[in-house]
Amino acid sequence: MTTLYGIRNCDTVKRARAWLDEHGVPYRFHDFKKEGVPEPELDRWLKSPGWEALVNRRGTTWRKLDESTRSSVVDAASARAVLIANPSLIKRPVVNWGAQGGVTTGFDPAEWKSHTV
């Protein structure tokens, strides 16, 4: 089963959920705001697709962090601590495509198409 992780009111997550619905992909939605960040999953994501892909450096949450916190994010361990404390920093959505499909971050319809074939 595909699991989509994100925040319900995020525009990108809304587009991603609509895309999955339009393409008939059954999925479970995990809301970071209501259910928190699943730490065992986060540990897997930090390995693949990797901490660099998970940290959203373009969003307002990143810009609101103080410079020392931003500059301290240099590896998986430091990213983990900041992502747990600030779930909105996780690039959304994170999608676990199930046993064979791996994990992706962000919404890319072309890439997603390859996971639904």
When pLDDT is cut at 50, 70 and 90, the band that residue 49 belongs to is very high
Q: pLDDT grade, residue 116 (50/70/90)?
A: confident
Which pTM does this prediction carry? 0.93
CATH number corresponding to 2-115: 3.40.30.10
Domain ranges for the chain, please list them.
2-115
Give the start-end residues of each E strand in the chain.
2-6, 27-31, 94-96, 103-105
pLDDT digits (tens, 9 = 90+) for 75-110: 999 999 999 999 999 999 999 998 778 999 999 999
Span 26-44, pLDDT tens digits: 999 999 999 999 999 999 9
Which active-site residues does the annotation give? 10
Residue 59: phi and psi, rounded to 5, are -85, 170
Residue 117 has pLDDT above 70, yes or no: no
